[in-house]
Amino acid sequence: MNAKPPNPRTPAWDIDSMFTDRWSPRALAADPLTPREVQTLFEAARWAPSCFNEQPWLFVYATAPEQRRKLAACLAPKNQLWAGHAPLLMFLLARRSFQKSGKENRHAPYDAGAAWMALALQARKLGLYAHAMAGFNLQKAYEALGASPEEFLVMAAIAVGRKCEDSGLPEELRAMESPNDRKPHAEVATDLFPLAPASHTQQGVS
């Protein structure tokens, strides 16, 4: 039995529990997801905001064992250990250019990140967990996905599944299998005005 509390996170301010309930476990059961669950995840991602409503993300996913093996083979060995048997495996791509104008879209990774977060939060609503990974071989990923590096950035791999007991994980991963904490507010959000140089703040006065 897993003796750890389900979620020991304590937010500094009163926020919706969906934010602290989302975390990235590695102990994921191999049980398949229903087609409805899979489509619900991508439906949530579809409503993410994006620059010019471009929706520059593309989730390339696999649920069938053979296809999942193909994607899992791109992962770093440490990630293969736990994500290799997740019932839903995917890569998140971001289109480098706007489809209408052909101009570079430097906001695409930002928008793809928003889509991933929508998917991850929806996963929790379904009793599932989504775990993103940067640990993969980029060259192998482009090949496996049949994606062009000129057209797409490969942002992350993502494993989704139901959480299970962590007894099947290697000891090193089991030790990390609990929700982690965050930096304090002061390190990640700052009021603009204390940062402004004195000469700048005095401009309007002189």
Ligand X SMILES: Cc1cc2nc3c(=O)[nH]c(=O)nc-3n(C[C@H](O)[C@H](O)[C@H](O)COP(=O)(O)O)c2cc1C
Interacting residues with ligand X (CB under 6 A): 23-24, 79, 132-135, 156, 179-180
Nearer to ligand X, 40 or 79 (CB): 79
Q: Is 21 helix (H, G, I), strand (E, B) or coil?
A: helix
| Minimum distance, C-beta of residue 133 to ligand X, in the bound complex (Å) | 4
Report the alpha-carbon distance of residue 33 to residue 63 in Å, rounded. Answer: 8
| Minimum distance, C-beta of residue 120 to ligand X, in the bound complex (Å) | 8
Q: What is the DSSP letter of 4?
A: S
Report the alpha-carbon distance of residue 20 to residue 15 in Å, rounded. Answer: 9
Report the alpha-carbon distance of residue 82 to residue 101 in Å, rounded. Answer: 41
| Minimum distance, C-beta of residue 56 to ligand X, in the bound complex (Å) | 16
Nearer to ligand X, 33 or 120 (CB): 120
Q: What is the DSSP letter of 84?
A: T
Question: What is the number of residues in the chain?
Answer: 206
| Minimum distance, C-beta of residue 24 to ligand X, in the bound complex (Å) | 3
Tell me the residue nearest to ligand X as measured from the CB: 135
Nearer to ligand X, 118 or 191 (CB): 118
